Every structure is written in structure tokens, then in C-alpha cells.
Amino acid sequence: MTPRSKAMDFLARREYGFEELCLRLSKCFESSADIRAAVITLQDEGLQSDERFAEALTQRRFNQGYGPNYVRRELSMKKIALHLIDDAVLKHNWEINIKDVVVKNAHKTTQQLQKYLQYKGYDFEMINRVTRS
């Protein structure tokens, strides 16, 4: 099996960022030059896209109730370009999302809820607006 075919197997299951895919392939193959060349070729062919990956991960975390700070941190850890992170995050209405999280956690005290929302990646301004109303 070649790095290209293994990368295509991974990409058939879900989107991967460039660096994440290279790291995953490095567990199967030794030559980092071959790995990077294969992933660059897949990128050129439109089979691997950091933009698609950023959008998919953002949508997944949005659906799970995570906030924009959490998503930004996760994408930056996966070495996605800042402009792609901003584009993906700005496409979502985080105000609606935080309100849904608050409704699902209505049993918590205000202090517990605020701490939980911080953990989920919402900023203080959003948390205060939602918990004080």
C-alpha cells in the first residue's frame, strides 16, 4: 500500500487537515517526503482540503454544543490557517447555540452553568448575556 492509497482510505471516512493526515500517515510509512508529496498531490486534486476540514469540524463541534473559542483552539492545534479558522467559525450563529446549551443544562446553578459554558468554549460576554437574562 502506498501513502497515497492509505491517505485516500482515511479521507474516504472523514475530512482531515493537511498536517493531521501527514501525522496519521507517518504511523504507517517512514518516508516523510513521500507522505508530504502524496498529500500535496491529493490537495492539488481537490481530495484533501483544509477549508473543508475546518468547516466539517466546526459544524460537528457546533452540533455538539461547543463554542467558538473551543473550535478555534482545536483547529489551531491541528495547524489550520487562521483565515480558514475565521471563515469556518464566522459561518455559525453561536448565540443560538449557547442558548440551546443553556436550555439543556437548566438544572445547573448559574455558577455551574457559567463554568460549564467556559469549558465549552464560549466567551465571557456571551455567557453573561445568556445567564443574566
pLDDT of residue 37: 96
Q: Which domain holds residue 17?
A: 1-48
pLDDT of residue 76: 98
Is residue 64 located within the same domain as residue 107?
yes
Is residue 36 located within the same domain as residue 66?
no
Is residue 89 located within the same domain as residue 131?
yes
Is residue 60 located within the same domain as residue 17?
no
pLDDT of residue 88: 98
Query: Which residue among 10, 32, 48 closes a domain?
Result: 48
pLDDT of residue 49: 98
pLDDT of residue 20: 97
Is residue 38 located within the same domain as residue 61?
no
Three-class secondary structure assignment of the chain: CCHHHHHHHHHHHCCCCHHHHHHHHHCCCCCHHHHHHHHHHHHHCCCCCHHHHHHHHHHHHHHCCCCHHHHHHHHHHCCCCHHHHHHHHHCCCHHHHHHHHHHHCCCCCHHHHHHHHHHHCCCHHHHHHHHCC
Average pLDDT of each block of 10 consecutive residues along the chain (133 residues)?
Answer: 95 97 95 94 97 98 98 98 98 96 95 97 95 80
Number of domains in the chain: 2
pLDDT of residue 132: 84
Q: Is the pTM of this model over 0.85?
A: yes
